[in-house]
């Protein structure tokens, strides 16, 4: 896939399949619980897809346990219930920094995996393999690539392993993950810059479009023959949780709308930057969303009229930036060193 190729997904109501468990997130700093929120890549992604596009009808396959706390938040995408299990639970420690990582994650409970038989036997335009706690199995991804025209994978669904004692998340090389043989059938592979160290980017970009996100620096797209850096949006980070997920939601929303890959990644950067300004799930401002939809339509028209648009993403960035500031929940006192605030309480 070349970066400047506009996919043919331009007709209304494209079907998107999102596969990954919802989870409970507990955010901890200085031995104190700062917030308890609905988590899981699937929840952040559906939040972006449902808000940002009217052309998408999404099916979400997720499992939760008897203790799931957020049923009323997920009425559009009800999870499957595993009555004998707990909901997947992650603790995120923000004061145990290791290397570049801004948090240490521990999977404290794990719900059931998602099996091929949990996924409907029908066709989808786009699939998203977005597990967080090891719930996506190789056979699950195999079914996804069979029934979806294009599959986007978050590498965290493939390479995470969990310490048997305390559940700390570690990463293994993609080659050793059990998913390596499927990579030639994947359309997009998204990794954060920390996760990208666990794959051979030069090898993977020959198989699929690789997108590496770098927090406040935006992202870089590696196509087979070309490479593009996509600029970030300015944000005041409160909580980094879900930035990569919302990025992927924005990227897929853009692709489904028919934007080319760098423009779609710009939309990913946009939603990633809004997410870091909120604790837990962001609630997007309706005027901001309207403006984004208009700018996406405008960009599509502009690209259809001109064959030389492809390198000019600056204008799209400049037009999205003002919309960005229509969604600013920030109160300066919530910010501590640009990281999660000392705000105490539950964000459910
Ligand atoms: N501090 C930030 N300022 C602006 N944008 C950000 C910031 N952090 C993340 N983003 C946006 O979200 C995307 C994903 O964030 P990143 O931290 O790389 O992923 P992950 O959450 O998977 O670690 C980035 O590519 C960027 O577009
Ligand atoms: O922050 P991010 O990497 O995009 O994604 C996060 C996962 O890494 C984490 O395991 C999960 O508990 C969060 O809810 C969120 O999905």
Tokens of 262: 């760098």
Q: Which domain holds residue 122?
A: 14-325
Give yes or no for residue 117 having a pLDDT over 70.
yes
Other Cβ atoms less than 10 A from the Cβ of 178: the count is: 15
Give residue ranges with CB within 6 A of ligand 2: 23, 25, 39-41, 44, 90, 105, 132, 156, 241-245
Cβ-contact 258, 252 below 8 angstroms: no
| Assigned domain for 344 exists | no
pTM exceeds 0.80: yes
CATH code assigned at 230: 3.40.1190.20
332 within some domain: no
Q: Tell whether 255 is covered by a domain.
A: yes
Confidence class of residue 328 from pLDDT cuts 50, 70 and 90? low
135 alpha carbon – ligand 2 mean position (Å): 14
336 found inside a domain? no
Ligand 1 pocket test, pick from 191, 213, 338 with the greatest ligand atom count within 8 Å of Cβ, gives 213
Give the residue whose CA is nearest to atom 3 of ligand 1.
Answer: 216
Residue 245 is among the residues annotated as catalytic for this protein:
yes
Q: Is the pLDDT of residue 8 over 60?
A: no
Question: Model ipTM?
Answer: 0.99
Taking a C-beta distance cutoff of 8 angstroms, is the pair 13, 57 a contact?
Answer: yes
Longest dimension (CA), the chain: 58
Q: Please tell me the distance between residue 300's alpha carbon and the centre of ligand 2 in angstroms.
A: 31
Radius of gyration of the chain (CA): 19
How far is it, in rounded angstroms, from Cα 208 to Cα 217?
A: 23
**Among 102, 194, 245, 327, the one annotated catalytic:** 245
Determine, yes or no, domain membership for 330. Answer: no
Residue 44: inside a domain, yes or no?
yes
pLDDT in tens, 134-176: 999 999 999 999 999 999 999 999 999 999 999 999 999 999 9
Distances (CA, A) of 343 to 14, 34, 49, 278, 347: 40, 6, 28, 12, 10
Kindly state whether residue 3 falls inside one of the protein's structural domains: no
Residue 112 has pLDDT above 70, yes or no: yes
| Helices and strands (H, E) in the chain, number of each type | 9, 16
Q: Per-residue DSSP letters for 279-334?
A: SSS----HHHHHHHHHHHHHHHHHHHH-SS-TT--HHHHHHHHHHHTTS----GGG
Domain count for the chain, please give it. Answer: 1
Q: Which of 44, 101, 152, 243 has most ligand 1 atoms within 8 Å of CB, for mutation?
A: 243
Residue having the nearest C-alpha atom to atom 2 of ligand 2: 242
**Is residue 259 situated within a structural domain?**
yes
86-102 pLDDT, tens digit each: 999 999 999 855 555 67
């Amino acid at each position: 896939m070349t970066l400047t190729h506009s996919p043919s997904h331009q007709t209304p109501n494209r079907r998107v399949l999102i596969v990954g468990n919802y989870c409970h997130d507990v955010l901890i700093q200085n031995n104190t619980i700062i917030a308890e929120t609905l988590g899981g890549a699937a929840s952040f992604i559906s939040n972006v897809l449902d808000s940002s596009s009217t052309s998408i009808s999404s099916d979400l396959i997720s499992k939760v346990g008897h203790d799931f706390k957020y049923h009323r938040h997920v009425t559009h995408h009800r999870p499957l219930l595993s009555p004998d299990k707990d909901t997947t639970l992650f603790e995120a420690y923000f004061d145990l920094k290791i290397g570049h990582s801004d948090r240490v994650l521990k999977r404290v409970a794990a719900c059931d995996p998602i099996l091929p038989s949990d996924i409907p036997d029908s066709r989808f335009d786009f699939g998203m393999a977005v597990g967080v706690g090891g719930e996506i199995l190789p056979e699950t991804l195999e079914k996804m690539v069979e029934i979806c025209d294009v599959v986007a994978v978050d590498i965290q669904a493939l390479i995470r392993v969990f310490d048997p004692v305390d559940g700390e998340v570690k990463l293994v090389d993609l080659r050793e993950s059990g998913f390596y043989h499927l990579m030639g059938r994947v359309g997009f592979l998204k990794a954060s810059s920390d996760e990208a160290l666990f794959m051979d980017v030069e090898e993977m970009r020959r198989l699929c479009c690789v997108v590496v996100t770098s927090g406040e620096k935006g992202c870089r797209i590696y196509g087979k023959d070309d490479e593009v850096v996509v600029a970030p949006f300015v944000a005041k980070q409160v909580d980094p949780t879900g930035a990569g997920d919302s990025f992927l939601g924005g990227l897929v929303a853009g692709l489904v709308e028919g934007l080319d890959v760098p423009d779609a990644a710009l939309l990913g950067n946009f939603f990633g930057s809004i997410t870091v300004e909120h604790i837990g799930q962001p609630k997007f401002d309706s005027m901001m969303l309207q403006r984004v939809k208009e700018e996406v339509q405008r960009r599509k028209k502009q690209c259809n009229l001109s064959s030389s648009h492809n390198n000019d993403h600056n204008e799209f960035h400049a037009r999205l930036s003002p919309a960005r500031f229509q969604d600013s929940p920030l109160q300066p006192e919530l910010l501590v060193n640009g990281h999660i605030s000392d705000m105490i309480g539950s964000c459910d």
